[in-house]
């Protein structure tokens, strides 16, 4: 390897068997000792902590104000090889340690070790690692420009007129192509997701062809950074995890690449995936989990600067607002710096179109606003949204948390609307609970709240809304409207479990109506992978590490439920064709959306005044969740756009006086 000759002549070269601590001057180590009574006393730095690589030299950096020595180990491979050189990093101001080494180190694997409290901690690739070997244990110096896909410099973000012009499709990379019947050349891989021209055993399009066919605008990837749970050295053994167990935040997950042993493989394959989606006019959103780490004591955070990056209870134990054993301290300067620089890195290096923040309320409002400001400077069309809640209590004062109710303080950020979710299908946390589409009473007001995007609207009574008692969104696009996601049951499973008495025909009608509400409401619509073909996880409500047979997309359902897919495609086409369903401001919605007849299991409203420059001057939307036809009185003549599964964008049929609205369905009428 070209790097080995450089190090044989370098003064810092040592044999691994040598006692490495002897290479450090004990007096100097004593001078480097600092006693801090609180994290607030730690010196901080505004300097870049990223590896600085050029063909002439590389500068290695780490921030560890409590370390008294730091060493840098070099390896030929990402695993199963011994150290062939070790160097002492030099302490600089404010806890910064660095070392510049001459020569082209491209391809060299490395780790850091800190000496803290008279002990050498375990090796770490460093929290700012951009490339890692198998299982993420060693970082690698890498000339990123040299491995970019062809024409990568021409790749660019997907542009949006407004955030709610997006139609988001959440997916897990493995799920889409891992089924044998998917016939993928790269099952469960980045390249499998974007493989064109692939047909399932039943001769229907899969992977990116299916996603393009559906018509969505953005894919939302479940966490795709390097994670702990998957053993990349034994991928012959089927393994699954959603990915909410971060290890290396700035590197793509290796198990989705064709060779996780080579750090230089996963990066261009991840970029090829993004490039393929961009070429198809589809944006890519990354689900990010900066709120906790997959492990605690040997996390990369703790191996650099123990405990600083976490929050603690009064008794000294790790606080746990994530429900995963720990939570990070976004309010501290160096944690905030790391999160901010990481999302900027993903945006600039990988051309990502946005981020979904897991348990966003663990983070503080200030940090989230800084993220939104910086990312939208790079890409004004970037989508930034998250879960406006925590998984438990936190030492972070409630008024500082990026909660859903604090969205008015975060004008560039959206949050998931559990108001519309539970109004449509019933409580996520009660199996038997039903919603508007499945026959529950008194869900109409919550549904209205979701339809307007949880903004202030004169016809919504916020005293009767689930999960909120006030309109928390400043603008309609700040409400992410959804009825299912990776968490909990699929929509089909929820409807089936909560309505065991219902026929399959009625379940299917409820399923269609649920998504019809989501896609015609004023927020930003969010769809779950496989919902368009009525996917099931066989009743598993927490499939984060369940086998493929539970999580995989069953492509046979695309044939079995082809009518559901056709309905979804038409809903998406309708929304994209008619901007009245995606007004950009609260004022527009207040002036142009008027609720009409509201009754048990009936919600109707009118979009008027060529809302948002729509070609239709008036649009009447009727949701009937009763299992029977209702007679709806009309105040004028309309054309029929949607009735049952029939979509007629020309409106050849006219109706006046009254109209029969089929049971468990949406009807849309319009006036040109």
HEC secondary structure over 419-466 = HHHHHHHCCCCCCCCCCHHHCCCCCHHHHHHHHCCCCCCCCCCHHHCC
Q: 505 is written with which tokens?
A: 């025909």
Kindly report the CA angle at 552 between 197 and 425, in degrees rounded to 5? 115
- 562's CB contacts (< 8 A; 6+ apart) are none
Q: Is the pLDDT of residue 19 over 70?
A: no
Q: Is the pLDDT of residue 20 over 70?
A: no
In the residue annotation, 232 being an active-site residue is answered as no
Q: Is the pLDDT of residue 192 over 60?
A: yes
- Fold exhibited by the domain 2-147: Immunoglobulin-like (2.60.40)
Summarize the confidence of residues 617-636 as an average pLDDT: 97
- Fold exhibited by the domain 592-671: Immunoglobulin-like (2.60.40)
Summarize the confidence of residues 438-462 as an average pLDDT: 97
Annotated catalytic residue within 170, 269, 358, 529: 358
pLDDT given at position 34: 76
Tens of pLDDT, residue by residue over 518-563, are 999 999 999 999 999 999 999 999 999 999 999 999 999 999 999 9
pLDDT given at position 668: 98
Confidence of residue 27 (pLDDT cuts 50, 70, 90): low
To 10 degrees, what angle do helices 504-520 and 491-498 make?
Answer: 130
In the residue annotation, 358 being an active-site residue is answered as yes
Distance from the first to the final alpha carbon of the chain:
71
Summarize the confidence of residues 149-177 as an average pLDDT: 98
- With CA atoms as reference, report the closest residue to 665 among 647, 645, 648, 638: 645
Q: Is the pLDDT of residue 350 over 50?
A: yes
pLDDT given at position 10: 42
Instruction: Domain ranges for the chain, please list them.
Output: 2-147, 163-173+210-292+331-581, 592-671
Q: Is the pLDDT of residue 176 over 50?
A: yes
The set of long-range contacts for 274-281, using a CB threshold of 8 Å and a minimum separation of 24, is 274/155, 274/350, 274/351, 274/352, 275/149, 275/151, 275/152, 275/155, 275/351, 276/194, 276/208, 277/194, 277/208, 277/219, 278/155, 278/156, 278/157, 278/158, 278/351, 280/208, 280/211, 280/212, 281/158, 281/217
Q: Partners of 90 in the beta sheet?
A: 98
- Residues 304/112, Cβ–Cβ less than 8 Å: yes
Which stretch of DSSP H or E encloses residue 341?
helix 333-350
Q: Is the pLDDT of residue 493 over 60?
A: yes
Tens of pLDDT, residue by residue over 576-619, are 999 999 999 999 999 999 999 999 999 999 999 999 999 999 99
Tens of pLDDT, residue by residue over 255-290, are 999 999 999 999 999 999 999 999 999 999 999 999
Mean pLDDT of the chain: 95
- With CA atoms as reference, report the closest residue to 286 among 375, 205, 164, 405: 375
Tens of pLDDT, residue by residue over 300-326, are 999 999 999 999 999 999 999 999 999
- Residues 301/62, Cβ–Cβ less than 8 Å: no
Confidence of residue 35 (pLDDT cuts 50, 70, 90): confident
Of all residues in the chain, what percent carry a pLDDT higher than 70? 95
- Residues 562/203, Cβ–Cβ less than 8 Å: no
Q: Is the pLDDT of residue 26 over 90?
A: no
Of the two residues 668 and 35, the one the predictor is more confident about is 668
Max distance between CA atoms of the chain, in angstroms, equals 94
Summarize the confidence of residues 328-351 as an average pLDDT: 98
Summarize the confidence of residues 136-150 as an average pLDDT: 98
pLDDT given at position 28: 67
Poorest-confidence range of 11-20, 248-257, 580-589?
11-20
Tens of pLDDT, residue by residue over 400-441, are 999 999 999 999 999 999 999 999 999 999 999 999 999 999
Dihedral sign for Cα atoms in the order 509, 510, 515, 517: positive
Token pair 């746990």 in the structure block, residue = 320
| CATH code for the structural domain at 163-173+210-292+331-581 | 3.20.20.80
Annotated catalytic residue within 170, 387, 444, 493: 387
Q: Fold match between 2-147 and 163-173+210-292+331-581? A: no
């Amino acid at each position: 390897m070209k790097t080995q000759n450089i190090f044989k002549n370098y003064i810092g070269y040592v044999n691994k068997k040598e006692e490495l601590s002897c290479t450090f001057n004990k007096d100097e180590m004593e001078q480097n000792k600092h006693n801090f009574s609180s994290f607030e006393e730690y010196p901080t730095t505004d300097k870049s902590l990223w590896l600085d690589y050029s063909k002439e030299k590389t500068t290695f950096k780490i921030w560890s104000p409590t370390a008294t020595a730091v060493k840098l180990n070099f390896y030929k491979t990402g695993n199963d090889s011994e150290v062939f050189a070790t160097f002492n990093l030099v302490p600089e101001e404010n806890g910064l340690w660095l070392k510049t080494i001459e020569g082209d180190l491209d391809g060299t694997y490395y780790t850091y070790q800190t000496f803290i409290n008279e002990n050498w901690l375990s090796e770490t690739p460093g929290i700012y690692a951009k490339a890692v070997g198998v299982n993420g244990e060693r970082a690698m110096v890498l000339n990123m420009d040299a491995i970019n896909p062809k024409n990568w410099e021409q790749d660019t973000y997907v542009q949006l007129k407004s955030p709610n012009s997006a139609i988001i499709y959440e997916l897990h990379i493995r799920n889409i192509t891992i089924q044998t019947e998917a016939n993928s050349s790269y099952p469960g891989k980045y390249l499998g997701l974007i493989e064109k021209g692939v047909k399932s055993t039943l001769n229907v399009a899969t992977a990116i062809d299916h996603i393009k066919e559906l018509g969505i605008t953005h894919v939302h990837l479940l966490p795709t950074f390097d994670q702990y749970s998957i053993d990349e050295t034994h991928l012959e053994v089927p393994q699954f995890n959603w990915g909410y167990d971060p290890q290396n935040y700035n590197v793509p997950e290796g198990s989705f690449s064709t060779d996780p042993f080579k750090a230089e493989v996963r990066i261009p394959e991840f970029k090829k995936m993004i490039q393929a989606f961009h070429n198809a006019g589809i944006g890519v959103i990354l689900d990010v989990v900066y709120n906790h780490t997959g492990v605690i004591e040997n996390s990369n955070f703790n191996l650099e600067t123990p405990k600083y990056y976490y929050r603690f209870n009064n008794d000294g134990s790790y606080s746990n607002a994530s429900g995963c054993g720990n939570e990070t301290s976004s309010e501290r300067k160096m944690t905030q710096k790391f999160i901010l620089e990481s999302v900027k890195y993903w945006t600039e290096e990988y051309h990502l179109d946005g981020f979904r923040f897991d348990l966003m309320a663990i983070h503080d409002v200030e940090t989230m606003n800084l993220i939104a400001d910086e990312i939208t400077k790079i890409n004004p069309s970037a989508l930034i949204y998250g879960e406006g809640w925590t998984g438990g209590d936190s030492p972070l004062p409630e008024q500082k948390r990026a909660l859903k109710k604090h969205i008015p303080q975060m004008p560039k950020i959206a949050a998931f609307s559990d108001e519309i979710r539970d109004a449509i299908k019933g409580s996520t946390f009660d199996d038997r609970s039903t919603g508007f589409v499945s026959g529950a009473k008194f869900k109409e007001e919550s549904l209205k709240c979701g339809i307007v995007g949880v903004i202030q609207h004169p016809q919504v009574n916020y005293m009767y809304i689930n999960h909120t008692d006030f309109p928390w969104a400043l603008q309609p696009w700040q409400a992410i409207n959804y009825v299912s996601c990776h968490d909990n049951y699929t929509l089909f499973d929820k409807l089936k479990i909560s309505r065991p008495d219902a026929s399959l025909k009625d379940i299917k009608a409820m399923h269609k109506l649920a998504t019809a509400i989501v896609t015609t409401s004023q927020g930003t619509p969010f769809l779950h992978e496989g919902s368009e073909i009525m996917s099931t996880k066989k009743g598993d409500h927490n499939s984060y590490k369940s086998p493929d047979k539970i999580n995989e997309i069953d492509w046979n359902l695309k044939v079995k439920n082809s009518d559901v897919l056709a309905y979804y495609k038409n809903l998406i086409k309708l929304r994209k064709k008619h901007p009245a369903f995606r007004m950009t401001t609260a004022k527009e919605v207040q002036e142009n959306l008027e609720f009409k007849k509201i009754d048990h299991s009936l919600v109707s409203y009118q979009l008027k005044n060529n809302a948002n420059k729509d070609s239709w001057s008036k649009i009447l939307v009727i949701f009937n969740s009763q299992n029977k036809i209702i007679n709806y009185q009309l105040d004028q003549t309309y054309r029929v756009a949607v009735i049952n599964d029939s979509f007629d964008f020309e409106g050849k049929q006219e109706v006046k006086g009254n109209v029969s609205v089929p049971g468990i369905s949406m009807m849309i009428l319009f006036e040109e």
